[in-house]
Amino acid sequence: MEQFNNRNVAEGGYYLVDIEEYPTDGWGKFKRVVKRTFRGELFVGLWVVLREMIRFDIHTIQYPEEKMPIGPRYRAVHEMKRLWESDTERCIGCGLCEKICISDCIRMDTRIDENSRKEVTEYTINLGRCIFCGYCAEVCPELAITHGGEYENASDQREHFVDYEYMLTPIDVMKQNAQKEFEGFGAITPHEDERVKKTPLAY
Amino acid sequence: MSKIAINIDGKEIETQEGEYILNAARANDIFIPAICYLTRCSPTLACRICLVEADGKQVYACNAKAKDGMNITTSTETIEKERRAIMEVYDVNHPLQCGVCDQSGECELQNYTLEIGVDSQTYAVKDVDRSAHDWGHLHYDPGLCIVCERCVTACKDMIGDNSLKTIARGADPLNAEFKESMPKDAYAMWNKLNKSVIGLTNGTDVLDCTSCGECAAVCPVGALVDTHFMYKSNAWELTQIPATCGHCSAGCQISYDVKHTSIENPEDKIYRVMNEWNYVSLCGAGRYGFDYQNADVIKDEEAFEKAVEAFKKADTIKFTSTITNEEALILERLKEKFGYKLINDEAKSFQKFLHDYSDISGTRLYGSDLKEMMNSNFIVSVGTAIKTDNPNARYSLNNSLTVNKGAALYFHPLSDPIIDGLGKNILSVNHKPLQEESVLYLLLDLFADKEKLPKEITEYLASFHSMKTVTVTETIKEKVVEIVKEKKVNEETGEEEEVEVEKSKMVPKKVSKEVEVDDNRLLTILGINDKFNETLEKFLKKKDSFSLVVGPDLYNHPNSKNIARLVALLEKYSEFKLVMIPTLTNTLGVSLINELSDEAGSYSIGYNTKGDFTLSALGDGDLDMPAINQQEGTLTSINKRVNPTNQAIGYGGYELNDIAKALGLELEETIDYTKELPTHRGFSAVAFDDLPDYYTNAGEEIRGYVLKNMGRRVSADESVNTIDETLVMENDIIYLANPVRQFTDFTKKTTNLDEESGVYMSEESLSKSDFNEGDAVVVKTANGELTSKIVSDNKIAGDIVVLPTFDSNLNSEALVNGYRFATASIKKV
């Protein structure tokens, strides 16, 4: 990681690529065309394809039969997580995702429930407007709304809504302890608790 | 009050003598942190965060008065340490539930914690059970409460219900070492904080007050929340629409907080009403009665055609005063063009009263307003059930009593426990109905300058006085000399012998004396006991500013003309500043704009009242109209101010101006009439969009404009009629007044105001009678009868039965002859 954190281009292993001078006159340009045409570069490529075909070592992903594994920080269609302890929903209805959403595509309705707690009665994301920026996941204080790996959004209409039920981790997945935590922005960074100032307690 | 100059942080500012440093600083845009202080109320000294250094001494800016040449530093190293410690203390055991808290970031605890930069905690105390309470229309969460006592202060100093107090928290005492280690003020503040939470004064767990909700509005954190708003919306999502409350004549500044109804319904909905609580206090109707809009209306062209036809056919327009000035002007223009008779009985009687008053006063309007009343220290109220006629007048009265250490006389036949509960310095005189003239004569007698008063009146007043001899028992201390035998040792002989000693002592003794005293027959007429003079003398000590507030009982009094003249005389020849309470929301505006008739013609259009063709914003008429919260316009308040109000939520139908346009009036929009309001009646030619609507940091109200009090040429005739003592009302008496939080059918329509309509009886009179709550009764007067249920009301006392006017189905007005009192018989059905 260290090497990437250093953004000073002047030092380290950077060097200028040797680029041929661009032709400035017509004759020069003509010469370059002739040179490139008869160099046979095309056949280099064709040969590689032929070689790999014969070897049967195909690198192309056979989408949609085959899919690439998605990185844990990939930001596709949102998911709503449940609490590990009780399997209940993490979302407390604070409305921060709704507020921070720069394309204004999140809306929620809340009410007070029978246990005097704030309950989210409805929650929608308009995927037609969502730009998958990840702010909602980052701002969520409960790690409730996150991004998932579901990127197949093709639809016959531009507006495509997902609601709370759709996004919520299914209870059977939860029972199998199969819920995946999101590791992108908004997730807890390692060693977070070492950096927190402890509040004194009188117990 | 003289101007003085003080210096705060090197900035020279000018302020009034006796002004608190905090207010002086705020008025000049200098920031001093303060949590518990409420403008207009007395300093609470709970938070202690407003510490400043004045001339080298640490004082609390909220209760230290500015002195000429004072040098004030708002921040020193010790003060910063105190403030930091105070904010840390406030954060001790404060639940981290900001995510769901209804304050949603409009939180002073959050703001000051960040402002002062609290990033770590030094203090700790064991928490106690602080579970939430449902107090009815309010929800109190002691866990979130920082016990700044702003709610208590507002309830005591502004509202006067005294419903809240601090009660014991039952926590462990603070760790003794904090006393040494902590800054002094922070420790003292914490010590107090740790011992208290907020509780109710009535000992139960349900509020029984006038339900204004001001305590929740002033709460700096999310501890006190309106139950109807709980977890409904975050504050930041709400758009605040500046408006003027349309329920009564106080014309309070409010803002309607609107947002889409739900995910499915993008139409705006009002979620709550907020106010600038430092400068204006709302009543329950203003705060909770917001959803009276005429909803789901579409342009019904057929009905509109019929309406235009009806206008062409009609010769009379009946209307109520819950309309804007602009609408009133449209009606007036239509009247000018088509010769309609405009009928509005309640505004007509107010108009007549104002006119009769101006015959003597020479001004078209009364001279004072509620703000002046609030700043005075002796108030007299005559002819108004002030609590429900104009809640803000009650707040002004209470504020004067508590903050100015004022005193007040409340003359009204209906005895009112809420008014009596305002304090010891208010005396209720429950005279009989129709005796309002006697009251005014008594006031003239007591307060008017007899030398300037017309001679006939002075003589008439003198005729009530006589000397009478009364026997007064006084306790005097008398010196009594006794001879006591004592045993003493004789120094010479050394023997003990008895000696007689003279001893004197003071012995209290009751003596009866015959004294000549002045006997005022006016007091006898009004049924006032002998202690009155004594009480009044006590009340009048150190009083220098006087206010008189009169109300709707007088406008419809059979002798209202004479009463208006008496009121004018009282204003003219005494130190009283006068306020009149207009009957309904815009009664004052209507009475200035419209020329009203007495008799209706054959075919009438009714606007918000029944007519042959009815236009109604209540949704029950032949053509729908927008309610006040659905239209732009101006309303004229009791403070003689023309206040702008804006459209909070959508309205899809026709409005009055559409009909006016169809009938040939030319102005495109209703608000185009704002600048056309009659300047010869005191209005200003200002366009609606140019009307300001805000308060300055100094608390100055910059809303709309103030009406000019136009003069009138008057004759020198100042004669008034004498008291007609035969005018009496006996037996069972009914009185037309609304319960708290109700004014008109519009307040009745709202979901949060659930007062039941019926025949109101005080608990006391109900227990004496054969009636039970819920009994159906027939109330019968000379004018008519009605049948309704008995409702027990603990906000009234005495035997007078109260009938509400907010429910037009009841049609209680038909039972009386204008005057709000009437003799009636009440029988079970």
Sequential DSSP letters for B76-99: -HHHHHHHHHHHHHHHTT--S-TT
Same domain assignment for residues B694 and B629: yes
Q: Find the mean pLDDT for residues B534-559.
A: 95
pLDDT of residue B503: 77
The β-bridge relationship of strands B316-319 and B604-607 is: parallel
Q: Are residues B169 and B93 in the same domain?
A: yes
> Which is it for strands B71-73 and B133-134: parallel, antiparallel or unpaired?
unpaired
Which residues in chain B touch residue A98, judged by CB atoms under 8 angstroms apart? 234, 237
Tokens matching residue B363: 């001004």
B700 and B627 co-located in one domain: yes
Identify whether B226 is part of a domain: no
Which of B390-399, B517-526, B550-559 is predicted with the least confidence, judged by mean pLDDT? B517-526
Residue B722 lies in a domain: no
The rounded distance, in Å, linking the Cα atoms of B429 and B553 is 15
Instruction: Indicate yes or no: CB of B126 within 8 angstroms of CB of A203.
Output: yes
Per-residue pLDDT reduced to its tens digit, B268-285: 999 999 999 999 999 999
pLDDT at B566 over 80: yes
Asked whether the predicted pLDDT for residue B160 surpasses 80, the reply is yes
At residue A5 the predicted structure's pLDDT band, cuts being 50, 70 and 90, is low
Q: Which of A101-115, B353-367, B710-724 has the lowest mean pLDDT?
A: B710-724
Output phi, psi for A164, to 5 deg.
Answer: -55, -50
CATH, residue B775? 2.40.40.20
Asked if B795 contacts B753 with a C-beta cutoff of 8 angstroms, the reply is no
Residue B682, token pair as written in the block: 């005191």
CATH code of the domain covering residue B127: 3.10.20.740
Judged by CB atoms closer than 8 Å, whether chains meet at B99 and A141 is answered as yes
Residues B441 and B550 in one domain: yes
**Distance in angstroms (rounded) separating the CA atoms of residues A80 and B42:** 50
Per-residue confidence at B110, pLDDT binned at 50, 70, 90?
very high
Same domain, B765 and B682: no
B40, B160: one domain = yes
Q: Looking at the domain assignment, is residue B131 inside a domain?
A: yes
pLDDT category, B684, cuts 50, 70, 90?
very high
pLDDT at position B49, please?
96
Which CATH architecture does the domain made up of A78-187 adopt?
A: 2-Layer Sandwich (3.30)
Same structural domain, B543 and B421: yes
Token pair for residue B751?
A: 């979901």
What pLDDT score was predicted for residue B724?
87
Which residues have a Cβ under 8 Å from the Cβ of B534 and sit 6 or more positions away? none
* DSSP bridge partners of B341: B316
Mean pLDDT computed over A17-33: 90
pLDDT at A198 over 90: no
pTM, rounded to two decimals = 0.89
Q: Mean pLDDT over all residues of chain B?
A: 93
**Structural domain includes residue B356:** no
pLDDT tops 90 at residue B486: no
Q: What is the pLDDT of residues B289-315, one digit of tens each?
A: 999 999 999 999 999 999 999 999 999
In the DSSP assignment, the letter for residue B524 is H
Whether B27 maps to a domain, the answer reads yes
pLDDT at B42 over 90: yes
| Nearest-Cα residue of chain A relative to residue B98 | A94
Higher pLDDT, A115 or B108: B108
Look at the block and give the residue holding tokens 């014969």: A54
Q: What is the structure's pLDDT at B731?
A: 81
Task: State how many domains chain B has.
Answer: 4
From the candidates B90, B100, B118, B232, which should be mutated to test the interface with A, based on the most A CB atoms within 10 A?
A: B100
Examine the domain organization and report whether B296 and B248 are in the same domain: yes
Tell me which chain B residues have a C-beta less than 8 angstroms from the C-beta of A195.
none
List the structure tokens of B149. Answer: 């006592």
How remote is the C-alpha of B526 from its chain's centroid?
A: 27
CA-CA distance, A124 to B266, in Å (whole number)?
A: 14
Quote the Cα angle for B746-B747-B749, to 5°: 65
Interface contact flag, B125 A142, Cβ < 8 Å: no
Across the interface, whether the CB atoms of B263 and A109 are under 8 A apart is answered: yes
| 3-class DSSP state of B784 | coil
Give residue B786's pLDDT: 93
CB distance B168 to B125 below 8 Å: no
Q: Report the run of H or E that residue B25 belongs to, with start and end.
A: helix B21-27
In-domain check, residue B714: no
Measure the CA dihedral B760/B764/B766/B767, to 10°: 160
What does the pLDDT look like over B445-476, one tens digit per residue?
999 999 999 999 999 999 999 988 877 777 77
* Chain B residues within 8 A of A109 when measuring between CB atoms: 262-263
Whole-number Å distance between alpha carbons of B650 and B631: 9
B14 inside domain: yes
Which positions 217-236 of B are in contact with A (Cβ < 8 Å)? 230-234, 236
Q: Which tens digit of pLDDT belongs to each residue from B611-665? A: 999 999 999 999 999 999 999 999 999 999 999 999 999 999 999 999 999 999 9
Query: Does the pLDDT at position A10 exceed 70?
Result: no
Confidence (pLDDT) at B667: 95
In this model, does residue B126 exceed pLDDT 90? yes
Between these two residues, B518 and A9, which has the higher pLDDT value?
B518
Q: Measuring CA to CA, which residue among B124, B619, B139 is closest to residue A202?
A: B124
How far B691 CA sits from the closest chain A CA (Å)?
Answer: 32
| Domain co-membership, B753 together with B652 | no
Please indicate, yes or no, whether residues B620 and B570 belong to a single structural domain of this protein: no
The 3-state DSSP class for residue B332 equals helix
Q: How many residues does chain A have?
A: 203
Q: Is the pLDDT reported for residue A174 higher than 80?
A: yes
Nearest chain B residue to A93, by CA: B100
pLDDT value of position A7: 65
- Select the residue from A117, A118, A140 to test the B interface by mutation, using most B Cβ atoms within 10 A: A118
Q: What is the pLDDT of residue B761?
A: 95
Cβ distance of B132 and A98 shorter than 8 Å: no
Question: pLDDT per residue over B539-548, tens digit each?
Answer: 999 999 999 9
Cβ distance A200 to B123 less than 8 Å, yes or no, reads yes
Tell me if B124 and A110 make a contact (CB, 8 A cut-off): no
Cis peptide before A64 (omega within 30 of 0): yes
| Confidence check: pLDDT of A111 > 80 | yes
- For residue B35 the two structure tokens come to 């949590």
Q: Using 50, 70 and 90 to split pLDDT, how confident is the model at B561? A: very high
Q: Are residues B289 and B190 in the same domain?
A: no
Give pLDDT, residue B575: 95
In angstroms, the separation between the Cα of residue A194 and the nearest Cα of chain B is 15
Q: Which residues of A touch B173 (CB under 8 A)?
A: none
Same domain for B698 and B746, yes or no, is no
ipTM surpassing 0.85, yes or no? no
The model's confidence at residue B189, banded by pLDDT at 50, 70 and 90, is very high
Asked if A95 and B237 come within 8 Å (Cβ–Cβ), the reply is yes
Residue B789 banded pLDDT, cuts 50, 70, 90: very high
Q: Do A201 and B124 touch (CB under 8 A)?
A: yes
Range(s) of the domain holding residue B570: 364-468+521-580
Q: How confident is the model at residue B343 (pLDDT cuts 50, 70, 90)?
A: very high
pLDDT, mean over chain A: 89
Tell me B415's DSSP state: B
User: pLDDT over 70 for what percent of chain B?
Assistant: 99
Q: How far off is chain B from A175, nearest CA to CA, in Å?
A: 28
Residue A153 confidence (pLDDT) above 90? no
Q: Is residue B230 in a domain?
A: no
- The β-bridge partners of B81 are none
Residues in Cβ contact with B10 at an 8 Å cutoff, skipping those fewer than 6 apart: none
Count chain A–chain B contacts defined by CB atoms under 8 A.
56
| CATH code for position B562 | 3.40.228.10
